[in-house]
Amino acid sequence: MSTPYKQDLTAQMIARVHEIGPILRDNAAQADRDRRVPDASLAALESTGVFGINTLERYGGQEGGARMLLDVTSAIGQYCTNAAWISVISSVSSLLPMRFPEPVRERIFHDGRPVRMASVIVNMGSTAVRDGDDYRVTGEWPFGSNILNAEWAIGAVQMRESADAEPRPGYVLLHKDQYTIKDTWFTIGMRGTGSNNFVTEDLWLPADQVVGADVLLGPGFEEREDAHFLQRLPPVSMFPTVVISGPLGAAKAALEMVMQTSAKRPVTYSKYQPQTSSGVFVQGIGATRAKIDAAEMFLQRAADMIDTAAQGSQPLSVADRASVRNCCAHATHNLAEAMNDIAWLHGTALFAEANPLGRLWRDVNTGVRHAIAASPLCYEIGGAGLLGIEQPTPLV
């Protein structure tokens, strides 16, 4: 079963994003201030269909894949970085139930519509211990982006078949009634993602809502000819590729703001009035745009690699997965440089509290440093893949 990149549908969704964009932009400062995306923005996002990009069509989704998600959410990022971020997290998270048993998917999508989700794929000491036919779960999962809006959440655990058994890595799927949220997200950037911890204590959980890490993140589904396109999308490659879409859109918006004011703003303490009379400024605009374009092209290349592999039954090789991460490294590196260039070009007014450029600068510089996509480790993964040596992490 194969699903190609749906260009027409993607274009339609992007057009809807631009229609509701002013709502997102008008609420972006409130999202930053309140540390969550406002309800009006959530409703606007729902109207675009973004939360269903990686949901089955029979559940109201688009079965879109990596490239559709990247392109649609980077458009969202031009209006609100935080709205784009939670859209990505929800869409990638809602892909993961495709690797749980069929009854679980029916439980989640029983009313035939996409749901909002969150997920944390690294374990900080959480456990799921066998209790009869089912499990007892205790844990706390940090940095749960979109947890404030999620109907379901996935968290990493150590699975044990008895209290004294050897643990193995796994994942639990929790309904919002099965966890509480701890208010822990206090940052200077990406504040509106509401990436708080979620917690559960001695929770009885049906066995079909617990799976091994090899099932959720491994290549098993990717090798099966009968697997659905969504089941063959590799989560560890997909997540870093698409999570940077919000910062990508934000960098585009920031550069546009700088260009719009450049014909009126001077280069302070210089003869260059306006900024556009300075050759250095003009050159800087061109160089910065090239960095943003490079980031987008590398992310699109990675997304296309992921989607193409998912249309067949031959998984991405380790070398290909490393190449995806190298693309992510170069994208995050370029976006960080571009935003710092924008600060130099615009001037210190960018750091005024009321200047939206300052918020974008904080958001981009925070977002591109997410551990799974940040350039230092991802460049190392890419280099190890090229050299054919041991990878620095199992999450490739």
Report whether CATH 1.20.140.10 matches the domain 234-387: yes
Q: What average pLDDT does the chain have?
A: 96
The mean pLDDT value for 28-39 works out to: 98
Provide the CATH number for the domain formed by 7-99 in this structure.
Answer: 1.10.540.10
Q: Rounded CA gap, 238 and 254, in Å?
A: 26
Give the per-residue pLDDT at 1.
Answer: 36
> What percentage of the chain exceeds 70 in pLDDT?
99
Give the pLDDT confidence of 266-317 residue by residue, as tens digits: 999 999 999 999 999 999 999 999 999 999 999 999 999 999 999 987 889 9
Q: Are 375 and 381 in contact (CB under 8 A)?
A: no
Give the per-residue pLDDT at 2.
Answer: 42
In CATH, which superfamily holds the domain spanning 117-212?
Answer: Butyryl-CoA Dehydrogenase, subunit A, domain 2 (2.40.110.10)
Q: Rounded CA gap, 272 and 284, in Å?
A: 14
Q: Are 250 and 360 in contact (CB under 8 A)?
A: yes
C-alpha dihedral over 97, 247, 72, 119, to 10 degrees? Answer: 10
At residue 149, what is the residue type? Answer: N
For residue 128, pLDDT over 70 is answered with yes
Banded model confidence at residue 4, pLDDT cuts 50, 70, 90 = low
> What are the start and end residues of each CATH 1.20.140.10 domain in the chain?
234-387
The mean pLDDT value for 314-333 works out to: 96
Give the pLDDT confidence of 69-116 residue by residue, as tens digits: 999 999 999 999 999 999 999 999 999 999 999 999 999 999 999 999
- What is this structure's pTM? 0.96
The mean pLDDT value for 334-361 works out to: 96
> What are the start and end residues of each CATH 2.40.110.10 domain in the chain?
117-212
Q: What is the three-class DSSP state of 158?
A: strand
For residue 8, pLDDT over 80 is answered with yes
Strand pairing partners for 137?
Answer: 128, 203
The mean pLDDT value for 146-166 works out to: 95
What does the buried/exposed string (b/e) look like for 138-170 if buried means 16 or more CB atoms within 10 Å of the residue's CB? ebbbbbbbbbbbbebbbbbbbbbeeeeeeeebb
**Whole-number Cα distances in Å, 361 to 338, 342, 365:** 10, 9, 6
Give the per-residue pLDDT at 313.
Answer: 78
For residue 3, pLDDT over 90 is answered with no
Give the pLDDT confidence of 186-243 residue by residue, as tens digits: 999 999 999 999 999 999 999 999 999 999 999 999 999 899 999 999 999 999 999 9
Q: Rounded CA gap, 367 and 357, in Å?
A: 15
